Amino acid sequence: MVWSSLSLAQSPEFSQGNDAPDMFNPAGPNAESIQEIFWVVIGICAVILGLVGTTLIWFIAKYRERPGDNSEPPQIYGSRAIELAWTLAPLLTVTLLAVLVIATVIKLRADPPSTAAHRVRVVGHQWWWELNYPDHGFTTANELVIPVSEPDLAKPIYLQLESADVCHSFWVPRLAGKTDCIPGRTNSMWIQAGEPATYFGRCAEYCGTQHAKMLIRVDCVSQADFDKWVENQKADAVSDDSVAAGRDRFMEMACMNCHAIRGTRAAGEFGPDLTHLMSRKTICSGLALNDRENLTRWISKPDDLKKGCRMPDMRLTEPDVKLIVDYLLSLK
């Protein structure tokens, strides 16, 4: 795990919009419990490693073969004390670890300590995240926006995790552990963050060629900013006549079969909802910053940014790409 986050941190693409997730800096109660049990288990294992390692080295030195000594070492059979010692010691250790881990799992499974909860339905797709806020009636993608918890008022987010195709796993290490998104099944978890920040995550279950580029952003903002964001997301798409030509091209091409833009004819569900595309900081599931240059690259040749992605190369002419990008940039 450490290795994979180190190697991702070195990949230049991620500096564009998505930093490496940090496993050692918990920012929510679930991640804190996981961090605690992690260090307890590492501590117990380190003590065992230390005892076994020093004993081993000590014995190797003390009882090594010496020149001229060909005598047989003392042979011990059926020593009750030794048999009991090497049966009970591992048994007690494993039992202790199991009790500690099970207690943590029970704690993580318990409901969050607040009624001020929001719900989000998360659907894993190859290779992006559909995020549906059922209480507010809108859908967005890849960037989960949540309100910050206050010291006297926890604001947990219940996540209902599903998959549209293969198994994925939702993982934002600073907030909580991994939970799988499994086809035909609904899993659940909750997250909560105590400080406004952006928390980065990953799909943590191999799900095909672009598994490594299925990133998650959780933007934790103040309640006021969250309310403002929700109001904007609930509204239909901006209808700006100065980009009517691009909108027409979008509707004539196959774009509208896969993407929804509320307030227009486009109602596809196969790809991300684009109603408020420009409210998102990144495109391609956290792969690139959401700006004119990357949108142009993405629409002209999706495979260049994300090889094997499900968005087809529509072989658009350069003027068409420009018109469509102009239109997308209007979707605030």
Binding site for ligand CUA (CB under 6 A): 124, 127, 168, 203, 205-207, 211, 214
State the minimum distance, in angstroms, from the CB of residue 128 to ligand CUA: 9
> In the β-sheet with 187-191, what is the strand arrangement from edge to edge?
138-141, 128-133, 118-125, 157-163, 187-191
Closer residue to ligand CUA, CB minimum distance, 181 or 295: 181
Residue type, 162: E
| Cα angle, residue 278 at apex, residues 277 and 282 outer, rounded to 5° | 85
Cα–Cα dist 178/165, whole Å: 18
> What is the DSSP annotation of 67-84?
TT--PPPPP--S-HHHHH
Residue 225: phi and psi, rounded to 5, are: -65, -35
- Residue 159 CB, shortest distance to ligand CUA, in Å, is 15
In the complex, what is the shortest distance from the CB of residue 271 to ligand CUA, in angstroms, rounded to a whole number? 15
> Least distance from C-beta 123 to ligand CUA, angstroms?
11
Residue 29 or 124 having the CB closest to ligand CUA:
124
For ligand CUA, which is the closer residue by CB, 20 or 203? Answer: 203
Specify the residue, 216 or 220, whose C-beta has the smaller distance to ligand CUA. Answer: 216
Give the residue with the Cβ less far from ligand CUA, 172 or 203. 203
Least gap, CB of 84 to ligand CUA (angstroms): 47
Give 27 or 207: the residue with its C-beta nearer to ligand CUA: 207
What's the gap between Cα 116 and its chain centre?
Answer: 23
CB of 169 to ligand CUA, least distance (A): 7
DSSP state of 165: S
- Give the whole-angstrom CA distance, residue 330 versus residue 332: 6
Cα–Cα dist 96/153, whole Å? 35
